[in-house]
Amino acid sequence: MYEWFFLILTISTSQAQQQVTVDAKQQMSLLLKTSDTDRDRKITVLDRNTIFWLEDNEKKKREVSGAYHLSNLLQELKLASDAGKNQILAERIFENPVTRISRSIRELYWDGLTRRVDAENLAQALPDSKLPKSEWRYVYVPAADTMAVDYFTKAASATPSLKIKVVPLEKGKEISSNHGLLTLALEKDKEGRIRGVPFVVPGGRFNEMYGWDSYFEALGLIVDERRDLARAMVNNFVYQIENYGKILNANRSYYLNRSQPPFLTSMISAVYASGGESKPWLEKSLRAAMKEYFEVWMNPDRLTETGLSRYFGSGKSIPPEVEKGHFDYILKPAARKHKVSVAELTRRYNAGLLEDPELDEFFSQDRAVRESGHDTTYRWRVDGKDRAADFVTVDLNSLLYKFEVDFARFIQREFNDQFSYEGRKMTSAEWRERAEKRKAAMLKFLWDPERQIFFDYNFKRGQRSKYVSATAFYPLWAGEILDKIAGQASIAALLKELEEPGGIASTARTSLEQVGRGQHLRQWDHPNGWAPHQMIAWEAIKNYGQVQTADRLIYKWIYTITRNAANFNGTVPEKTDVVLRSHRVFAEYGNVGTEFSYITKEGFGWMNASYQVGLKLLTPKWRKDLEDLRPPEWIEFK
């Protein structure tokens, strides 16, 4: 057990509640000199900490010791310094880590992650660390939204220092060069000023609105009584469907060729259930979701002869958002074949000046992986190659089943079976029939009755995969695809494969071993755990009445986040290693949310949400054990 755990228990209430007047900058400088021994501008358990005597402006000193308390002090001094204040609360230094993380998410992180695309906020929304810097910054505006074109053209002229080029974008057009920001919805505030409709970004290098991240973020926002922001994100998705033809991977021009896992009806349901929304808002949102359903997920590119859909991405370009060198293993051989440099190959290929069927196929498959949100994983590895577009997947079809069930429920309950889409009446019976057909196809192609697990299906080869993924919880989350007995059996089978000390692993260790040892690690595989999988699994397990099992998994996940945040200066990362219960993940892109100085003011979007949602779902009797940081293995779940 770490030292700070015992210190938390010994701090007196009277000491903790005192307000301390200090020279924040001076004390922060002294604290870093004495306690940040590895000079990374954070105080963690890796530092050789000593006792620090916090001196107030009256020369009185207070003892602070232990990595957790010292890191809290650093954070509070940094906040005071940034705000130009000279007072801090001693209670914040000695705050219980569970309380501190939850409060920070609610009071600090959501605001730190909120963006708007408008004249006032372009300087914040434009930066994209995933791309090299260029002379001009491009802003693409839907050509059909003439008001927005005029608005952003004037905004660019008013801020010449930003060097913005505004480009009207025709619906359906893709961009292969001069990548930039895609605008989102605008609205008028109470004073009549035009402002961008707000949204939450994941954090770190992801400074735009992402497709499936937004659903999980919305759940956290609703828990924290920020339903206005959750509603605004639905409105931005409606705008995307109407103007870009789909919910985008994210609102950058290089994401125009793909979507992400469709959670829109679930997001609408969550916002509507939180109260305050009108029937016209619901009707408009549902029509947009139907448009996405028919035009994206049921179109010929994605709908297969099995009656189930697949992930797919259009175009032929090389994804520019990946880190340098990511595709060298495929581009270098191609460059040698065409007798050009990798840079020249990339330029010609993206401009459509070079034909290479092998590259076309490789990047077609790669775009399908990226549309799935699970970029990358060995889950769709076939004969040494990634073949995501060859599979109808468990997660996608569970989500589309959920669409169909949600449409039926809303049309019947909220519209009394009086609902039209593009001039055609839609009935709840029609949508229930669609759901039943998809359910039958899922049970035929995706369900393995012997292993009692859902698997992706390779429709090109007519073979069911054997790769165990946490996405197999999606059918149990989505609705009554399995009866109670089969559902509980599936939960047991999945937990045997996926449960680890820190929560649910994204894939099974045994499945990863099947693709062969010596492969480099991929971030959506074992031993990594991700917030969306945890949240889906919790609800799936509760759907089948296993509350104690859900409590155990929630406890493991929140304990892991809490322990890492307490030991590493408040770090709330993108993902965790659920075997080691650590944020120190070194697969592919590293771990977003871990690189900061002094204090994180963002955390990471869906990780923040999982913490708040998990605390709300956790049976209250486990809260005290969590606050005492009792490891899950010390607790007997009964």
Longest distance between any two alpha carbons in the chain, whole Å: 78
Half-sphere CA count of 112, side-chain side, radius 13 A: 20
Burial profile 57-74: b = 16 or more Cβ within 10 angstroms, e = fewer: eeeeebebbbbbbbbbbb
Query: What is the rounded CA–CA span in Å between residue 227 and residue 219?
Result: 9
Asked if residue 204 lies in contact with residue 607, where contact means CB atoms within 8 angstroms, the answer is no
**CA neighbours closer than 13 Å in the CB half-sphere of residue 437:** 11
Name the β-bridge partners of 307: none
Taking the C-alpha atoms of residue 308 and residue 313, their distance in angstroms, rounded to an integer, is 17
Query: Between vectors from CA 243 to CA 241 and to CA 249, what angle results, nearest 5°?
Result: 55
Q: What letter would DSSP give residue 106?
A: I
CA dist 62 and 407 (Å) reads 60
* 296/242 Cα distance (integer angstroms): 12
Annotated catalytic residue, options 56, 118, 366, 375: 375
Q: Is 375 a catalytic residue?
A: yes
Cβ neighbors of 313 (< 8 A, separation 6 or more) are: 257, 258, 364, 366, 367, 368, 370, 371
CA atoms of 327 and 8, how far apart (whole Å): 48
CA 301, 296, 200: angle at the middle one, nearest 5?
130
d(CA 416, CA 555): 41
DSSP state letters, 547-616: HHHHHHHHHHHHHHHHHHHHHBTT---SEEETTTTBS---STT--TT---SS--SS--HHHHHHHHHHHH
What whole-number distance in Å separates Cα of residue 500 and Cα of residue 486? Answer: 23
- C-alpha Rg value of the chain to the nearest Å: 25
**Strand residue runs (E) in 17-60:** 19-21, 52-55
Cα 214 to Cα 529: distance, rounded to the nearest angstrom: 18
511-536 CB burial, b ≥16 within 10 A, e <16: bbeebeeeeeebbbbbbbbbbbbbbb
Distance (Å) of CA 510 to CA 170, 375, 469:
47, 20, 11
Given the residues 292, 321, 574, 577, select the one marked as catalytic: 574
Contacts 24+ apart (CB under 8 A), 283-288: 283/415, 283/419, 284/238, 285/234, 285/238, 286/407, 286/410, 286/419, 287/421, 288/237, 288/238, 288/241, 288/242, 288/264
Length of the chain: 638
Q: Return the active site residues.
A: 375, 574
